[in-house]
């Protein structure tokens, strides 16, 4: 029964973390859930790089109610000084009794250090709850932080017979409304969109994110011969 409750709170942390999609780069998406005596005390998530980390947001909302509480995090808390202070120190000061972590932070600056510091301070730490889901959520961050190369998503629109346009090039869409809407959600969550000069010349796209409160990605065009007209919508 305890494990069922733990999983429920970790899934809530994952849903909270996802609210930061497209806003936290180069940081990971993290959600935090504070529970005491079987009752939800406070939640938080990392909104953007440079702002409070998820656990700090939850601690501030909980106040004194954080003492003796259990904290659920999809990612190990940091233990180093970056743009914000180390979260482990704040958790220890707040008197958090137990921390359940979905996965170890792959960042070499953390990489188990946060877990070790908490345990040295007498905090109970459990690692690996719903680890596969936690790893999947931050797969782009994991690739960048461990290999220093970007996580690339290929967007290809084609007909069932492998065509991307009619022979005359007159067709504008080969995808439906749902697929086009999904593309805007992808643009909202990535750092940049890259196209070739041919796409700009043929379609004159804006490459913006057209969903409510969406964020436009950086737009990059590969144009070795400087063919893009100055009046292009980009």
pLDDT in tens, 115-157: 999 999 999 999 999 999 999 999 999 999 999 999 999 998 8
Which structural domains are found in the chain, ordered by start?
Answer: 2-147 (3.40.140.10), 152-234 (3.40.430.10)
> Of 29-38, 50-59, 104-113, 170-179, which range is least confident?
170-179
Q: Is pLDDT of 51 > 60?
A: yes
The mean pLDDT of 16-36, rounded to a whole number, is 95
- Catalytically active residues are 55
Q: Dump pLDDT digits (tens) for 155-192.
A: 988 888 888 777 776 666 778 888 889 999 999 999 99
Structure tokens at 75: 């990612």
Q: What is the reported pLDDT for 217?
A: 93
What was the pLDDT predicted at 169? 65
Output the pLDDT for position 170: 66
Give the full edge-to-edge strand order of the sheet including 31-36.
39-45, 31-36, 70-73, 98-101, 124-127
Output the average pLDDT for the chain. 92
pLDDT higher than 90, residue 227: yes
pTM: 0.87
- Contact criterion met (CB below 8 Å) for 201 and 228: yes
* Residues 6 or more apart in contact with residue 97 via CB below 8 angstroms: 68, 69, 70, 123, 124
Cα–Cα dist 118/115, whole Å: 5
Query: Using an 8 Å Cβ cutoff, are 131 and 101 in contact?
Result: no
39-45/70-73 β-pairing: unpaired
Percent of the chain whose predicted confidence (pLDDT) is above 70: 97
Of residues 170 and 110, the one with the higher pLDDT is 110
pLDDT band, very low/low/confident/very high, at 110 (cuts 50, 70, 90): confident
Q: What is the DSSP letter of 213?
A: T
Distance CA 43, CA 8 (A): 13
Q: Which two tokens stand for residue 180?
A: 């086009």
pLDDT at residue 206 is higher than 70: yes
pLDDT value at position 234? Answer: 87
Going by C-alpha positions, the residue among 162, 219, 224, 159 that lies closest to residue 194 is 219
**CA neighbours closer than 13 Å in the CB half-sphere of residue 183:** 16
Place of tokens 């003492």: 67
């Amino acid at each position: 029964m305890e494990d069922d409750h733990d999983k429920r709170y970790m899934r809530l942390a994952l849903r909270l973390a996802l609210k930061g999609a497209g806003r936290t780069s180069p940081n990971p998406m993290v959600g935090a859930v504070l529970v005491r005596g079987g009752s939800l005390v406070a939640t938080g998530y990392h909104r953007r790089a440079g702002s409070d980390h998820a656990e700090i947001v939850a601690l501030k909302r909980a106040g004194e109610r954080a003492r003796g509480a259990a904290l659920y995090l999809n990612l190990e808390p940091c233990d180093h000084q970056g743009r914000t202070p180390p979260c482990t120190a704040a958790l220890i000061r707040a008197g958090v009794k137990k921390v359940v972590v979905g996965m170890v932070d792959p960042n070499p600056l953390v990489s188990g250090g946060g877990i070790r510091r908490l345990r040295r301070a007498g905090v109970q730490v459990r690692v690996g709850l719903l680890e596969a889901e936690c790893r999947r959520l931050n797969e782009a961050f994991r690739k960048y932080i461990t290999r220093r190369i970007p996580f690339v998503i290929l967007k290809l629109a084609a007909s069932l017979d492998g065509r991307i346009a009619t022979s005359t090039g007159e067709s504008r869409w080969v995808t439906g409304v749902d697929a086009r809407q999904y593309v805007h959600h992808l643009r909202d969550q990535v750092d940049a969109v890259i196209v070739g000069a041919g796409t700009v010349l043929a379609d004159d796209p804006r490459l913006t994110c057209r969903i409510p409160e969406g964020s436009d990605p950086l737009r990059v065009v590969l144009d070795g011969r400087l063919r893009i007209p100055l009046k292009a919508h980009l």
